Amino acid sequence: DAMVIQNPRYQVTQFGKPVTLSCSQTLNHNVMYWYQQKSSQAPKLLFHYYDKDFNNEADTPDNFQSRRPNTSFCFLDIRSPGLGDAAMYLCATSSGTGDNEQFFGPGTRLTVL
């Protein structure tokens, strides 16, 4: 089945220790998104790629970076995680042509100790 996969589902890191979250998709979609969702809050868009074009949200901290080496994979790098970065990180994809649905992965829950 075509899908959006995120690994790992649960990630524990230490304060200040870099961490990378991964997302892959078999949908062959042009657009990949990263959202941060804290408890009882809305998903907040961090950035997205349209093919290789990177689009950063104005209020996304510099601590968050992303890489998209090919169509299928996209990574979220948190350079120096703080306690406030503990959240669910959601990856989503869309075809990018016209009005279209975003398909979400299951998310990675990040804990910062």
Partner 1 sequence: GQNIDQPTEMTATEGAIVQINCTYQTSGFNGLFWYQQHAGEAPTFLSYNVLDGLEEKGRFSSFLSRSKGYSYLLLKELQMKDSASYLCAAYILTGGGNKLTFGTGTQLKVEL
What residues line the site for partner 1 (CB under 8 A)?
Answer: 31, 33, 40-45, 48, 50, 53, 55, 88, 90, 96, 99, 101-107, 109
Minimum CB–partner distance for residue 55 and partner 1 (Å): 4
Minimum CB–partner distance for residue 93 and partner 1 (Å): 12
The total of other beta-carbon atoms located within 10 Å of residue 35's CB is 21
Which is nearer to partner 1, 6 or 85 (by Cβ)?
6
Which is nearer to partner 1, 31 or 78 (by Cβ)?
31
Minimum CB–partner distance for residue 95 and partner 1 (Å): 11
Which is nearer to partner 1, 41 or 80 (by Cβ)?
41
Q: How far is the C-alpha of 81 from the C-alpha of 64, rounded, in Å? A: 9
Q: How far is the C-alpha of 35 from the C-alpha of 32, rounded, in Å? A: 10
Q: What is the dihedral of CA 60, 96, 76, 70, to 10 degrees?
A: -140
| Phi, psi (degrees; rounded to nearest 5) at 101 | -70, 150
